[in-house]
Amino acid sequence: MARMESRRDESLWVGEELQQPHAQSDKAVRVKRMFDAIAPTYALINTLFSGGRDRAWRRSAVRSVGPTASDRLLDIACGTGDFARAFGRCGTKPGFVVGCDFAFNMLTLAAAGGGGMARWAQGDALTLPFSSGSFTITSCAFGVRNLQDLDSGLGEMFRVLAPGGRAVILEFTRPSRRLWRWAYEFYSTKIMPLGATLVSRDRTGAYRYLPSSVVSFGDAESMCARLRRVGFETVTATPLTLGVVTVYVAIKGQHERGITQRQQ
């Protein structure tokens, strides 16, 4: 891939935009610029500030869909490729893996990340450049919260799945136990943004956006309802680390034609 696009260092998340990130009509533009800017330190910050839990969460999510060699996997909003690669490290790897993201700098690092087991494609999760029914697993880790239009993104995850295919989503949620929630939110709103901003030398406000986008995002129940609404037949939600993240598994019925949002 070509040279990484240059860093844009202006602050993207202040005031109203920070309080209500999901309500911004240009959220997608801001999100793309933010990830292009933080790409070089993105994976390091994840591991440092989750105490290495991010890897364990991805492994759990992979196990939850039991991949086999005959699976064709599309990892949506793949970023630097950590989730797609986690599938490659599981017992039985999917036979075919594609990672897709709209941020060029994230994708460049995914392609440079080695492993050789995946192909990488630049594309928008809201209009995926793949035919209906072309995959048996769709996955998305820490991506759906960043979408401009969540329902369209979930609809696309459904559309590109073959009948009987499964979708797995890993996303931050708010812990339900009050004391743990308080402790976790103190960490994620006060300590993490300071530390992560310092280490990454970020100027976009990415690590203030992160906790704000989690607090103002829907809960696990509403995510399950949305997944059912776009057509998934069976939906489960499993909290990990006392609810800091949730793994959703959604299965497409065997008799679905696989066309919801766009006809291809």
143 burial via Cβ count (<10 Å: 0-12, 13-18, 19+): buried
- 199 is written with which tokens? 């280490």
Site for ligand SAM in 32-51 (CB under 6 A): 32, 35
**28 binds ligand SAM, rule: CB under 6 A:** yes
**Cβ proximity to ligand SAM, 124 vs 202, nearer residue:** 124
**Cβ proximity to ligand SAM, 31 vs 192, nearer residue:** 31
**56 binds ligand SAM, rule: CB under 6 A:** no
Helix (H) or strand (E) holding 97: strand 96-101
Residue in 87, 120, 142, 232 binding ligand SAM, rule: CB under 6 A: 142
**78 binds ligand SAM, rule: CB under 6 A:** yes
Q: Are 156 and 77 in contact (CB under 8 A)?
A: no
**109 binds ligand SAM, rule: CB under 6 A:** no
Helix (H) or strand (E) holding 53: helix 53-64
Cα separation, 147 vs 163, in Å, equals 25
164 contacts: CB under 8 Å, gap ≥ 6: 136, 251, 252, 253, 254
Cα separation, 227 vs 150, in Å, equals 10
Cα separation, 136 vs 72, in Å, equals 5
How near is the Cβ of 178 to ligand SAM at its closest, in Å? 27
**103 binds ligand SAM, rule: CB under 6 A:** yes
How near is the Cβ of 166 to ligand SAM at its closest, in Å? 17
DSSP annotation of 7: P
Residue in 67, 143, 193, 211 binding ligand SAM, rule: CB under 6 A: 143
What binding mask, one character per residue, do residues 153-182 give for ligand SAM by CB under 6 A, x or -? ------------------------------
Interface contacts to ligand SAM, rule CB under 6 A = 28, 31-32, 35, 77-79, 82-83, 101-103, 106, 124-126, 141-143, 146-147
